[in-house]
Amino acid sequence: MVKSAQEAVGVAPEILAKYEPVIGLEVHVQLLTKSKIFCACSNRFGDAPNSNTCPICLGLPGTLPILNKRVVEMATRASLAINCTVHEHSRFARKNYFYPDLPKGYQISQYELPLATGGWIDVDHDGGKKRIGITRLHLEEDAAKNLHEGFAESATKAYIDYNRCGTPLCEIVSEPDIARARRGLCLPDYAAADSPVHRRQRLQHGRRIAALRCQCERKAARRAGIRHQS
Ligand SMILES: [Zn+2]
């Protein structure tokens, strides 16, 4: 059952009278390629930890990433499926940050020139259709995975599986349309519609764990027609 905006965000009615929640989603789709995005390592899920690694996906000095053509083909199909404009030129950059599952200190991602922009997806919501704008679709590599349980010393140590390092990801960023449905939030409707789109395109394995990961961007905007009071 769809919650009302008030129930969903848990704020007082007088606040909701002045402000409306503005919500956009960042959805990461793991692409079902045979090899990783910048090296020939297997992209198979479920193999023994750290069995699918090489100097490129470990980010060792002197290595040169080579873009997987199949990743671009799949991402282009995904872009067209969500009605985006695919650009002839896009650019990868190093996004520098340190995190325990990213020991090389940077992630290769698209920022200024993404693969595709300006699309939309129609979702079933509240007995009708709701159109959610898509800001952009860009490509990037995934980081490794921290493992916090299942080992003899898990209580005191964290372990890292580098098999996921270099997994090809499509990041799909929506416009902040999620909360502006006719009634309530249509976020679950968007998530429900997004995954089948990719499964129909045979980009993503339906049963694969964590094949679709969502990140929610939330802000509050003053409702139209409400004047500022200090
Ligand atoms: Zn590799």
Distance from the alpha carbon of residue 172 to the mean position of ligand 1, in angstroms: 24
Closest among 164, 136, 144, 169 to 68, alpha carbons compared: 169
Structure confidence at residue 175 (pLDDT): 87
Task: Tell me the C-alpha distance between 71 and 36, whole Å.
Answer: 9
What's the DSSP call for residue 66? -
User: Which residues make up the environment of ion ligand 1, defined by Cβ < 5 Å?
Assistant: 39, 41, 54, 56-57
Q: What confidence score (pLDDT) does residue 207 get?
A: 43
Q: Which of 24-38, 51-65, 144-158, 208-222 has the lowest mean pLDDT?
A: 208-222
- Residues 129-139 pLDDT 10s: 888 899 999 99
Ligand 1 centroid, distance to 97 Cα (angstroms): 20
* Confidence band, pLDDT 50/70/90 cuts, at residue 183: very low
pLDDT at 198: 57
pLDDT at 212 over 80: no
Neighbours of 163 (CB within 10 A): 24
Tell me the CA–centroid distance for residue 47 and ligand 1, in Å.
14
pTM of the entire structure? 0.77
Q: In angstroms, rounded to a whole number, what is the distance separating the alpha carbons of residues 114 and 105?
A: 22
Ligand 1 centroid to Cα of residue 59, in Å, is 9
Decide if pLDDT at 78 tops 80: yes
Which of helix, strand or coil describes residue 67? coil
pLDDT at 86 over 80: yes
Cα(27) to centroid(ligand 1), Å: 24
pLDDT 10s digits, 7-23: 555 667 887 777 777 77
Distance from residue 69's CA to the centre of ligand 1 (Å): 15
Pairwise pLDDT comparison (205 vs 98), residue with the higher score: 98
The pair phi, psi for residue 17, each rounded to 5°, is -65, -30
Dist. CA 180 → ligand 1 center (Å): 43
Rounded distance from Cα 166 to ligand 1 centre (Å): 7
- Mean per-residue pLDDT over the chain, rounded: 80
Residues in the chain: 230
**Per-residue confidence (pLDDT) for residue 209, from 0 to 100:** 39
Domain parsing of the chain, residue ranges? 20-222
DSSP assignment of 147-173, as one string? E-SSSTTTTT--EEEGGGTT-EEEEEE
